[in-house]
Amino acid sequence: MTRTRPKKELGQHFLVDENVLGVIGRLAELEPDDVVLEIGPGLGVLTRYLAERVALVHAVEIDRSLEPHLAGIPNLRLELGDALQVDLADLEPPPRKLVSNLPYNVATPVVVESLDGLPALERWCVMVQRELADRFFAHPGSKAYGAVSVLLQIATERTGFHAVSRTVFRPVPNVDSALVAFRRRPLPQRFAQVKRLVVASFAHRRKTLPNSLALVGLASREAAVEALEALGRPADTRAEALRPVDFVELERLLP
């Protein structure tokens, strides 16, 4: 098999150190009857580990040149295409777990869209840049806290974290990574509307929340001020000051 060169434009950093696989298996709490979704299988190091331990792996790979590396793996259904374009909700049987070394350039949208787009998912165990891993479950008021923090903490709870050295990848990236594991909690009834509010709230991070919502046309400044007052918050509150649960209540209060 010819040597495959990672493609920088696809954010490819192939997992090559098998020592981390045991940590992934433990954090993902793999079971023999699991159906797992893997985004960006690359050379198949994690894919083979998963396929030996679960009933089925759905793997989505954008780079067709990697298909020979994945051929012949048992319990694998390979989908060649962009994970942001493939309709993952059509996968049958539906995956219960997302276990992936996520390509850097799709990590955030894949995780965020899976929260409501893949309702059968119960657990996630993803390898991402350390900066993004810290952002996932950052606390209100911190520099890392943002829209992705709020949405993940509304929809899930963290169950595990493991720092990963950059040396487990080829080529070696310029940043460290981390494994983050989390499990689903019940979604609010109006999660789609809450998601829209959260994204709008952080769209102009340095502005007050009423001004930010008014700028994107989601609510008038006056309505936002009234809703904040009902939450016991002043009019000059910024998005990063609210807890995830506050956004759920704020959405209910806005007209």
pLDDT tens, position by position, 47-85? 999 999 999 999 999 999 999 999 999 999 999 999 999
DSSP label of 81: S
* Contact (Cβ atoms closer than 8 angstroms) between residue 14 and residue 42: yes
**pTM to 2 decimal places:** 0.90
Domains of the chain: 8-184 (3.40.50.150), 191-253 (1.10.8.100)
For all residues of the chain together, what is the average pLDDT? 92
What percent of the chain has pLDDT above 90? 83
Question: 95 preceded by cis ω (within 30°)?
Answer: no
Show the tokens assigned to 99: 């276990």
Q: Alpha carbon of 41 to those of 83, 151, 206: distances in Å?
A: 11, 26, 38
CA distance linking residue 97 with residue 9, whole number of Å: 27
